[in-house]
């Protein structure tokens, strides 16, 4: 297996993109990555997309998007793993280059979520849960994560204010990201007084419905050395699954798929949590970030809330988390999120992150998650 590097990234502003179609959003974003990498063709492509059929009525998007990108006839694959679709697409692209099967691979993620009603969007997202044992009984993802939050609060003493601090931190970071859906600050009071969605989670604890795409270009690391940018390689990759239903887990406050995938990625990269400088985590709800920090080994079990309150994960903290604004402020077009996390890590390692730049960042970690933790993908990226 050979080393794999990222030589170009692309991402346009996320939000409610009424005037653009799914193919428009993807092609615009992919061409930005082409320009950034100074290429005009790829050997193959992988596209992460969770529910294009339910959101826009379009399946078979691997063929569609390769065609409209001007890359017809190349191998093109649509990847689905719920909200971890983008991260899994990145892993598959990475493995293809590492194996020597392809030299240059485009990895993209796309979702167009706002062309349907709120009810239809909720249904589409709910398909990532257990339909017979959760969906049938009316459970939604805010409800599932509310159960996780309540259990974490009861077991470890995590406070309602600590949950709010996650949202405040990520909106602060997002206010420095011109591509974010919600680039503005909020306060703990505004979170605590926002509309209740599923107790204890309020609307400002929840990531939004978003249209958007992200793309990266992968190639062998030795090829990347010929480019002007510093070489950023994927040092480690991990992938794991867990039971899809919360009721089947021994402890719903613990994300076993995240833990297992992280251990794989750490081992492959020859790194540990102490080596990581920046992290992008899957904060679909504020409690998710707290639980993920624990599964990554950044803090001990039950200490995720304390880490946020103590400023450990702030932009100027010991280990900044979600410098992009995270899913909470940047947005969450479900199939694109995992790729966008890699985009942010690369920008940080290339020192191209603008106002939110973390000084001397050399190793970053991206954690993408499907459903309530039924799947997770981890990538460790390192500046050579």
State residue 210's pLDDT score. 98
The domains located in the chain, with CATH, are 4-117+210-224 (3.40.47.10), 139-205+235-383 (3.40.47.10)
Task: Write the CA distances from 145 to 149, 198, 340, 377, integer angstroms.
Answer: 6, 9, 23, 19
pTM: 0.97
Q: Is 172 a catalytic residue?
A: no
Phi, psi of 313 (to 5 degrees): -105, 10
In sequence order, what DSSP letters do the residues of 100-166 get, joined into one string? TS-SSEEEEEEEE-TTS-HHHHHHHHHTTS-TTTTGGGT--HHHHHHHHHHHHHHHH---HHHHHHH
**Is-catalytic flag, 83?**
yes
Q: What pLDDT does residue 228 have?
A: 87
Q: What local confidence, expressed as pLDDT, does residue 226 receive? A: 87
Cα separation, 380 vs 343, in Å, equals 13
List phi, psi (to 5°) of 305.
-65, -40
**Regarding beta strands 375-383 and 232-241, do their DSSP bridges make them parallel or antiparallel, or are they unpaired?**
antiparallel
Closest CA to 362 of 345, 349, 347, 380: 349
- Nearest Cα to Cα of residue 336 among 71, 108, 177: 108
291, 332, 346, 379: the catalytic one is: 332
Give the pLDDT confidence score for residue 174 in this predicted structure. 98
Strand 105-112 and strand 375-383: the pairing is unpaired
138 C-beta neighbours (distance < 10 Å), count? 8
Q: What whole-number distance in Å separates Cα of residue 109 and Cα of residue 87? A: 9
Choose, from 83, 206, 291, 346, the residue flagged as catalytic: 83
User: What 8-state DSSP symbol labels residue 299?
Assistant: S
pLDDT at 284: 98
Residue spans of the chain under pLDDT 50:
none
pLDDT one-digit tens code per residue, 220-267: 999 999 888 999 999 999 999 999 999 999 999 999 999 999 999 999
At 298 the pLDDT is 98
Report pLDDT for 227: 85
47's tokens: 């596209």
pLDDT given at position 271 = 98
CB 203 within 8 A of CB 194: yes
Strands (E), the chain: 4-11, 44-48, 76-79, 105-112, 196-198, 201-202, 211-220, 232-241, 278-280, 363-370, 375-383
Q: What are 337-367's pLDDT values in tens digits?
A: 999 999 999 999 999 999 999 999 999 999 9
């Amino acid at each position: 297996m050979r080393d794999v590097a990222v030589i170009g990234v692309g991402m346009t502003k996320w939000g409610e993109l009424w005037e653009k179609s799914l193919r428009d959003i993807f092609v615009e974003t992919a061409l930005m990555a082409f320009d950034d990498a100074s290429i005009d063709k790829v050997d193959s492509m992988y596209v992460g997309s969770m529910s294009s059929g339910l959101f826009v009525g379009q399946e078979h998007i691997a063929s569609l998007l390769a065609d409209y990108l001007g890359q017809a006839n190349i191998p093109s694959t649509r990847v689905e793993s719920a909200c971890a679709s983008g991260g899994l697409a990145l892993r598959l692209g990475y493995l293809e280059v590492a194996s020597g099967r392809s030299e240059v691979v485009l990895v993209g993620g796309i979702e167009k979520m706002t062309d349907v009603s709120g009810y239809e969007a909720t249904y589409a997202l709910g398909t990532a849960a257990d339909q017979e044992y959760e969906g049938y009984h009316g459970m939604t993802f805010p409800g599932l994560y509310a159960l996780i939050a309540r259990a974490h609060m009861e077991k470890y003493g995590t406070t309602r204010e600590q949950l709010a601090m996650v949202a405040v931190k990520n909106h602060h970071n997002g206010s420095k990201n011109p591509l974010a859906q919600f680039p503005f600050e909020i306060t703990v009071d505004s979170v605590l007084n926002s509309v209740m969605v599923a107790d204890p989670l309020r609307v400002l604890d929840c990531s939004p419905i978003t249209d958007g795409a992200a793309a990266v270009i992968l190639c062998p690391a030795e090829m990347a050395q010929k480019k002007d940018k510093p070489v950023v390689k994927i040092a480690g990759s991990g992938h794991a699954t867990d039971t899809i239903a919360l009721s089947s887990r021994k402890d719903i406050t613990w994300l076993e798929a995240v833990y297992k995938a992280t251990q794989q990625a750490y081992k492959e990269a020859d790194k540990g949590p102490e080596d990581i400088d920046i992290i992008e985590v899957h904060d679909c709800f504020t409690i998710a970030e707290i639980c993920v920090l624990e599964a990554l080994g950044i803090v001990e079990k039950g200490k995720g809330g304390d880490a946020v309150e103590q400023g450990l994960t702030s932009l100027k903290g010991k280990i900044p988390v979600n410098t992009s604004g995270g899913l909470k402020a940047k947005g969450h077009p479900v199939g694109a999120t995992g790729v966008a996390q890699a985009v942010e890590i690369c920008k940080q390692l290339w020192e191209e992150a603008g106002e939110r730049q973390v000084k001397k960042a050399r190793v970053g970690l991206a954690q993408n998650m499907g459903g309530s933790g039924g799947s997770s993908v981890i990538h460790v990226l390192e500046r050579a």
